[in-house]
Chains A and B, each alone.
Chain A
Amino acid sequence: MKTADVASTNGTEPATQPRGAKTAGAVANWADERLGLGTAMKKQLRKVFPDHWSFMLGEIALWSFVILLLTGVFLTLFFDPSMAEVQYDGSYDPLRGVYMSRAMASTLEISFDVRGGLLMRQMHHWAAMIFIAAMMIHLLRVYFTGAFRKPREINWIIGCLLLLLGTIEGFTGYSLPDDLLSGTGVRAADGFMKASPVVGTYMSFFLFGGEFPGDQIIPRLYAMHILLIPGILLALIAAHMLLLVYHKHTQWPGPGRTEENVVGYPLLPVYMAKAGGFFFIVFGMIALLGGLFTLNPVWKFGPYDPSKVTAGSQPDWYMGWPDGLLRIIPAWETHIFGVTLSWNIMLPILVMPPLMIGVLAALPFIESWITGDKREHHLLQRPRNAPTRTAVMVALMTFYGLSWAAGGNDIIAIKMHLSINQITYFMRGAVIIGPIIAFIIARRWCISLQRHDENKLLHGYETGVLVRSPQGGYAEKHLPISEAEAYRLTARDREEVYVPDSTADASGVAAPGGKRAEITNKVRGKLSELMYADNVQKPTAEELHEAQHHSEHELHELEHQIASGPNKHGPSSDH
């Protein structure tokens, strides 16, 4: 780059700065001399990030968390987390005179008597729904592109913890207003705890400070909701971001992009502007949702009363899938030694969610064990280039989605005029068969796409130009793809199926580790076969070279045919 491009010479005059810059510089200098930020910022402000829409999904989660903090602070100013009974005397007529907890009364006060209170409440709640949804789609992006591989496994686990904590945070918040719906949720949670063998009742009495509902649960959930969990969430988000900066962002392969560099734009000014702008877009979207769509109309639910319940009692969407499993599981119970083991509650609620989070957290480690790949990866993979991995997540998503849909079985029944029983029976089978079918389809689909890529590399793209041969047959002309495109398609590793060593070497000495290691290796070999054996590997250099040669010939022929015009070649012209 020539210096003239960045600065013009000022000849013999000393350099001068514009007036505004001088003041800003003085302030920055003052701060730098006292805080030493200059050195740190010099590097970080020029930090380069690659550009792709899917890299911004985590940002949605980050910004909705910021909105949660802002609106949450507003709500704490007016919310009274007390279960003391009061008679409501606020603005909402149909509940005036009804006895309720102070928590519920203050929620109604926020909704009807605090200026902007209802908007803030709804924004807080919508932001929570968006927060967890955004974390999930971010997780999917990271998984599908292989961005969880070394050195990012720890950050993947932090992400899983964020998802888990976000869900718990959401549940505690959902429970605070002490309205009919949230009370039903707390009652359900009480039942779930009591379903754990032996310690269940102790846990319940411990949490509620006695028999349900008591007068302790809301203050306790409140402390968790506004102090404990947000504190941990903040710390984990900070760690997540610091690791992101430390590892540098992953990028899509392409010309000039390697495992050693990051191609993109600097944080200042490009990503400051983009990310800052995106914050306002997220804020705007949540403000619109909060202003336009009713969320949790507590005034219609009324105060919680264990004798009441309403149809359509569901948790917020992120707890929908365990609720769905709970709705479809058969009534399995075991009675031993005078103890009832409620499998129908334990399995969907106490076993499945921790199991799912455990599977999620283990995925990077399982994969690296199968592949034996211990290298660092900063270039992403297209989902089609890891068919089995993609299919695993699609199967998990299918399981999640079906369980989730089962959580809304009553709404599906009334809106689609179906029998709730039939939905339940269908779902019982579907949650098991569905993921298997999804796995097979997704895997084959990916492999087909790989074949399509191979075709493009070796035979070029379909031009849409049909040519009739002298014999009267029709064929579509293919033309070579651009070099950049070809590079992008071939920028991936060749995969090798792991073949376990034979147990004994040539001289008959058994491999170290004995029988167990042998079995482990065999399993690893089988899984590696499942993972790689059917994949389409990228063409070799010779194949590409030959293809190029062939396509040049094709191109030449096509040009010739076009030049000679329609029906001017071959015997067909002499009609």
Chain B
Amino acid sequence: MRLLNRSAGRLSRHRRGPIAGLVVLLMGLLMTGGLYAAFAPAQADSTQSQEELVREGRELFIVGCAFCHGQNGEGVLTQGGDQYGPALTDVGAAAVDFQVGTGRMPMAAPGAQAPRKEVVYTDDEIAALSAYVASLGTGPSVPDAELYDPDTLSEAEYDEYVTRGGQIFLANCTACHNFEGSGGAMPRGGVAPKIRGVDPKYIYEAMLTGPQSMDTFSDGNIPPEDKKAVIAYLDTLDEQPSYGGLTLGSLGPVSEGLIAWLIGIGGLVGFAIWIAAHTTRTSRTKDGADA
């Protein structure tokens, strides 16, 4: 502190020097230029590539998505007036990144729910599709790693995030996804999928965009740092040892009951048969009068 004061004092001695004005001007120009370079809107060059990306995305969209979502992402209605493929005009890049990045889209067949499956498009193609759909209207963009990655937290922060995230998780997520994120049933054949071992980016995007029957947890509802806390909690669940032994799928009392009957009672009845078969007469000439 003292050192800083001393150097500041030394500087201020020259503040009325002959070249002081020139130096200040120079510094001002440098800062302005530097900041502009850092924060400037996309330059002509990148606009070009953005347009390129959107065009590329549109081509992919026409081939892979338009059948259900419409030529311009306006959505398609069935004859009965139901939604065949919803409009994508205001879903944003994050929704596309989630749906296509986890293999949910394109769907193999219309159904109650688009299940997670093998990813069809490459990362570049997904980026192009996202860019095209984002260009159709508003909607959240693909989040930066800093928003969702729990690895960016310091150790002290991490513990605090985990505790808070656990409570947010139990209040908002477990009702459908189960206390350990093992998944749960939704009406009419839908499922709240298992959310363990999922890339943090996709968890963040799912909360942000509310895919399929999931609610949208906007940033006003659950702020970004709380979303990150939930992800940190899920991360701990993956990391922590299984304290009580095998988890039986972490499905709650149903699988526990199955084990009690199949292994517990099944095993004990087996032992009862074994004990009864070994009477005081262990020789082979045991009378077979017992049924």
Hey, which bits of chain A sit against chain B, CB under 8 A?
51-57, 59-60, 93-98, 111-112, 118, 122, 126, 129-130, 133-134, 137, 180-181, 252, 254-255, 265, 270, 274, 277-278, 281-282, 285-286, 289, 291-297, 299-302, 305, 307-317, 320, 382, 407-411, 413-414, 417-422, 484, 488
Contacts and interface: CB of A to CB of B under 8 A. Distances in A.
B182 A57 contact: no
Contact of B268 (A52, A118, A285, A419): A285
Interface in B239-291: 240, 242-248, 250-257, 259-261, 263-265, 267-269, 271-273, 275-277, 279-280, 287-291
A264 B252 CA distance: 44
B243 A316 contact: no
A98 B163 contact: yes
Contact of B272 (A57, A181, A305): A57
Interface string B176-193: 111110111111110110
Contact of B243 (A112, A310, A313): A112
Contacts of B264: 126, 129-130, 133, 285-286, 289
Contacts of A307: 171
Nearest to A129: B260
A120 to B, nearest CB: 12
Given A94-B163, A97-B163, A133-B265, A311 B174 contact: yes
A111 B171 contact: no
Contacts of B186: 420
21 contacts: A56-B275, A60-B272, A126-B260, A129-B257, A130-B265, A278-B272, A281-B275, A285-B271, A292-B245, A294-B247, A300-B180, A302-B167, A312-B178, A315-B253, A317-B254, A410-B185, A411-B255, A413-B191, A421-B188, A484-B287, A488-B289
B112 interface: yes
Contact of A129 (B183, B187, B248, B256): B256
A281 B268 CA distance: 8
B50 interface: no
Given A308-B174, A410-B184, 9 more contacts: A53-B273, A122-B244, A129-B257, A265-B280, A281-B271, A285-B271, A294-B243, A300-B237, A414-B185
Contacts of B174: 180, 308-311
Interface residues of B, number: 66
Contacts of B251: 312, 411
B254 A282 contact: no
B54 interface: no
Nearest to B182: A312
Contacts of A296: 253, 256
Given A60-B265, A180-B170, A53 B163 contact: no
Contacts of A281: 268, 271, 275
Contacts of B187: 419-421
Given A310-B179, A311-B177, A52 B291 contact: yes
A129 B237 CA distance: 27
B179 A312 contact: yes
A52 B278 CA distance: 10
B233 interface: yes
B268 A311 contact: no
Given A295-B256, A410-B185, A137 B269 contact: yes
A252 B236 contact: no
A169 B205 CA distance: 46
B244 A293 contact: yes
A289 B259 contact: yes
A289 B263 contact: yes
Given A130-B265, A255-B289, A52 B276 contact: yes
A51 B275 CA distance: 10
B268 A60 contact: yes
Interface centre among B187, B233, B251, by most A CB within 10 Å?
B251
A310 B259 contact: no
Interface string B156-177: 0001001100110011001111
Contacts of A274: 275
A52 B276 CA distance: 6
Contacts of B192: 311
Contacts of A60: 265, 268-269, 272
Contacts of B277: 53
Nearest to B192: A311
A282 B268 contact: yes
A6 B184 CA distance: 69
A304 to B, nearest CB: 10
7 residue pairs, one from A and one from B, having the closest CB atoms:
A311-B184, A317-B257, A294-B244, A312-B252, A419-B189, A53-B276, A129-B260
Contact of A51 (B175, B265, B276): B276
Nearest to B189: A419
Contact of A93 (B162, B248, B254): B162
A419 B188 contact: yes
B191 A414 contact: yes
Given A294-B242, A297-B243, A308-B171, A137 B159 contact: no
A382 to B, nearest CB: 7
B267 to A, nearest CB: 6
Nearest to A487: B289
Contacts of A311: 174-179, 183-185, 192
A362 B191 CA distance: 44
Contacts of B240: 94
Given A94-B162, A130-B268, A413 B256 contact: no
Nearest to B288: A484
B248 A294 contact: yes
Contacts of A299: 243
B230 to A, nearest CB: 12
Contact of A317 (B163, B176, B261): B261
A310 B253 contact: no
